[in-house]
């Protein structure tokens, strides 16, 4: 049986990726901080693990424990956090959290798992963002920078490990209907065609993961058919 480690498994895109992997008979160690009870009850192939990704010592211990139980075939760095607004109005804690979760944790997890992934001829799939490809992320400078870093890491890692048979993929979704915009002053427009569904992003991961042998889909960019966002009403 194949084994995957998926971060951000408790909601949104990550939850759909776990469902997709379990559907293929892949056992998933899903990392998050808050799981609802029914998620673990759905299948014994899903093992929820509570861990704050910004706690490097806890993360390292956790991965060592998993590797002592089983080799790991697939790593999906999906967890992310986003704060928007003029850069001057962010604070150091928010900046630190975005760098730790969006960039540092994927680098550390990849390092800890790479020997197993090479032995298994496995895959690393990083959920980046279309913002990684934009040079002007007004009011999202720091978030965009973390995602650009993740995409840069993904491309370099592919060059390093392609000869070992490891697939390395960056997925670049645009607006997707999840809770990611909880801290933003905007959200997805209601029109279905103005935002992607988490299931669509999970399908892109599936496509990359099950690509023909000898072919690596290194980059998938997903955009909704129409461009529109909603400004949230200001709280009084």
Ligand X SMILES: NC(=O)c1ccc[n+]([C@@H]2O[C@H](COP(=O)([O-])OP(=O)(O)OC[C@H]3O[C@@H](n4cnc5c(N)ncnc54)[C@H](OP(=O)(O)O)[C@@H]3O)[C@@H](O)[C@H]2O)c1
Q: How far is the CB of 213 from ligand X (least distance, A)?
A: 28
Using CB under 6 A as the binding rule, whether residue 81 contacts ligand X is answered as yes
Closest separation in Å from C-beta 171 to ligand X: 8
Toward ligand X, which CB reaches closer, 120 or 175? 175
Provide the CB-side half-sphere exposure for 130 (13 A, CA).
11
Interacting residue with ligand X among 178, 202, 208, 209 (CB under 6 A): 178
Binding mask 120-159 for ligand X (x = CB under 6 A): -------x-x------------------------------
The answer to whether 95 and 25 have CB atoms below 8 angstroms apart is: no
Q: Could you confirm whether 164 is annotated as catalytic?
A: no
Cβ–Cβ under 8 Å, residues 129 and 172:
yes
**The one catalytic residue among 83, 84, 143, 181:** 143
Question: Should residue 30 be labelled a site residue for ligand X when binding is judged by CB under 6 A?
Answer: no
The reply on whether position 54 binds ligand X by CB under 6 A is yes
Q: CB-wise, 174 or 211, nearer to ligand X?
A: 174
Q: How far is the CB of 99 from ligand X (least distance, A)?
A: 11
When asked if residue 13 is in the footprint of ligand X (CB under 6 A), the reply is yes
The Cα–Cα gap between 74 and 116 comes to 9
Cβ neighbours of residue 183 closer than 8 Å, sequence gap 6 or more: 82, 83, 84
Asked if 53 interacts with ligand X (CB under 6 A), we say yes
Residue 177: name the closest of 13, 53, 54 by CA: 13
> For residues 111 and 137, what is the distance between their CA atoms, to the nearest angstrom?
29
Of the candidates 2, 39, 19, the residue with the CA atom closest to the CA atom of residue 205 = 19
164 Cβ neighbours under 8 A, 6+ residues apart: 118, 121
Q: Which stretch binds ligand X (CB under 6 A): 5-13, 36-44, 213-221, 223-231?
A: 5-13
Count the helices and strands in the chain (H runs, E runs).
7, 9
Which residues here bind ligand X, judged by CB under 6 A?
8, 10-14, 31-34, 52-54, 78-82, 101, 127, 129, 173, 175-176, 178-180
Task: Kindly list the catalytic residues.
Answer: 143
């Amino acid at each position: 049986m194949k084994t995957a480690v998926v971060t951000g498994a408790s909601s949104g895109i990550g939850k759909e990726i776990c469902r997709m992997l379990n559907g293929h008979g892949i056992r998933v160690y899903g990392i998050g901080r808050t799981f609802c009870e029914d998620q673990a009850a759905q299948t014994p192939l899903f093992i929820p693990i509570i861990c704050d990704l910004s706690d490097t010592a806890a993360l390292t211990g956790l991965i060592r424990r998993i590797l002592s139980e089983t080799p790991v075939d697939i790593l999906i760095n999906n967890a992310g956090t986003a704060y928007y607004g003029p850069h001057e109005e962010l604070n150091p804690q928010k900046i630190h959290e975005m760098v730790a979760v969006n960039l540092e944790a994927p680098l550390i997890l990849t390092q800890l798992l790479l020997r197993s992934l090479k032995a298994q001829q496995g895959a690393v799939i990083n959920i980046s963002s279309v913002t990684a490809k934009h040079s002007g992320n007004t009011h999202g400078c720091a978030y965009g920078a973390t995602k650009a870093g993740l995409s840069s890491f993904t491309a370099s890692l592919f060059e390093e490990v392609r000869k070992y048979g490891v697939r390395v993929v960056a997925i670049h979704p645009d607006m997707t209907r999840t809770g990611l915009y909880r801290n933003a002053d905007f959200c997805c427009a209601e029109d279905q065609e103005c935002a992607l569904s988490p299931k669509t992003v999970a399908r892109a991961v599936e496509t990359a993961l099950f690509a023909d042998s000898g072919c690596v889909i290194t980059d998938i960019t997903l955009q909704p058919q129409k461009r529109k966002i909603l400004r949230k009403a200001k709280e009084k």
